[in-house]
């Protein structure tokens, strides 16, 4: 009762899960974003050169007390970077593991941000009817030349399925071998775990890389204000560190970082800077080819 009065109780969603508490929504979400359009003097002109966006198709994240968090891909972390990359001349192919609809944390949608809502509407059909990664890996893997980068948006939904999906692991290793860029923000880097080697004798392809990512210690704190209904059952940062990945930030802040062709951002606060860094880095790469 006290939690309800203080706005600390997670909100039931009607499907057996919980969305963030009213207090969490006030503290962690906004109707607008800090998206700042920039002019790219030499945008990409090759319309065949796209970005493969790998999204989640799952939405109910288990916690240690048995309650489930209603999640998906975070709309700010998904759409603000897309705005920058789109302005830089890059289109997207939206994928989920099996082609089921992309799950988005609609409770975090910045509905008064005209730019964000415009690109959401532009790609809404793809979000609702994405391509299947399983089909892509099976049928188009070896011959495809259309992508410059793979992109893993954040949101706790990135913890569902992607870190343990064999096809996601094959996608990441394929992109690494083809020297594609890997763009990932917030919880998105959890997908790197899918490329974990089969045994300890094999090196992890991203061992020694530095990244920005959502900190485990912040995830441990979020249930205190009702953002999640319970503690996570595992923490992706711990697992990445065991594989030799170096997480450079300790706060859920605006940190962005590029290490070789791996470009990462720490949180929703980093979405604007992450998108700008990704777009400018990709264009600089094409300029020097």
pLDDT on residue 276: 98
Q: Is the pTM of this model over 0.85?
A: yes
pLDDT on residue 198: 86
Confidence of residue 139 (pLDDT cuts 50, 70, 90): confident
Predicted confidence (pLDDT) per residue in 72-95, tens digit: 999 999 999 999 999 999 999 999
DSSP character string of 60-101: EEEBTTS-EEE--B-HHHHHHHHHHHHHTT-EEEEEESSSPP
Helix (H, G, I), strand (E, B) or coil at 49: coil
Closest-CA residue to 6 (of 21, 19, 16): 21
Predicted confidence (pLDDT) at residue 144 exceeds the cutoff of 80: no
pLDDT on residue 142: 73
Dihedral (CA of 246, 272, 218, 53) sign: negative
Which of 94, 186, 190, 263 is the catalytic position? 186
2-29+49-287 has which CATH code? 3.40.50.880
pLDDT on residue 140: 77
Confidence of residue 145 (pLDDT cuts 50, 70, 90): confident
Structural domain spans, the chain: 2-29+49-287
Rounded-to-integer distance, Cα 289 and Cα 62, Å: 45
Mean per-residue pLDDT over the chain, rounded: 95
Are the C-beta atoms of residues 73 and 153 closer than 8 Å to each other?
Answer: yes
256 is catalytic: no
Predicted confidence (pLDDT) at residue 4 exceeds the cutoff of 60: no
Name 111's Cβ contacts closer than 8 Å, sequence gap at least 6: 31, 117
Are the C-beta atoms of residues 10 and 19 closer than 8 Å to each other?
Answer: yes
pLDDT on residue 62: 97
Q: Per-residue pLDDT averaged across 274-284, rounded? A: 98
Predicted confidence (pLDDT) per residue in 162-190, tens digit: 999 999 999 999 999 999 999 999 999 99
């Amino acid at each position: 009762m006290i939690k309800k009065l203080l706005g600390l109780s997670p909100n039931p969603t009607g499907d057996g899960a919980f969305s963030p508490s009213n207090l969490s929504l006030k503290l962690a979400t906004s109707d607008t974003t800090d998206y700042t359009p920039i002019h790219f003097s030499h945008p990409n002109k090759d319309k065949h050169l796209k970005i493969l966006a790998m999204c989640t198709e799952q939405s109910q994240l288990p916690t240690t007390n048995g309650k489930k968090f209603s999640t998906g891909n975070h709309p700010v972390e998904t759409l603000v970077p897309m705005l920058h990359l789109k302005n830089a001349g890059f289109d997207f192919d939206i994928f989920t593991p099996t082609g089921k609809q992309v799950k988005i944390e609609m409770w975090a949608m910045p509905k008064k941000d005209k730019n964000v809502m415009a690109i959401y509407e532009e790609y809404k059909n793809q979000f609702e009817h994405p391509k299947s990664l399983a089909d892509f890996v099976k049928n188009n893997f070896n011959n495809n030349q259309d992508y410059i980068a793979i992109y893993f948006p954040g949101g706790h939904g990135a913890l569902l399925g992607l870190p343990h999906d064999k096809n996601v692991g094959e996608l990441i290793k394929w992109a690494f071998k083809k020297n594609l860029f890997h763009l990932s923000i917030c919880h998105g880097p959890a997908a790197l775990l899918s490329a974990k080697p089969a045994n300890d004798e094999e090196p992890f392809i991203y061992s020694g890389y530095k990244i920005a990512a959502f900190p485990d210690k912040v995830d441990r704190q979020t249930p205190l204000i009702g953002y999640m209904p319970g503690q996570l059952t595992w923490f992706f940062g711990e697992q990445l560190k065991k594989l030799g990945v170096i997480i450079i930030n300790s706060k859920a802040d605006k940190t962005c970082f590029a290490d070789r062709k791996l470009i990462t951002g720490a949180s929703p606060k980093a979405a604007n800077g992450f998108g700008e860094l990704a777009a400018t880095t990709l264009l600089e790469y094409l300029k020097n080819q």
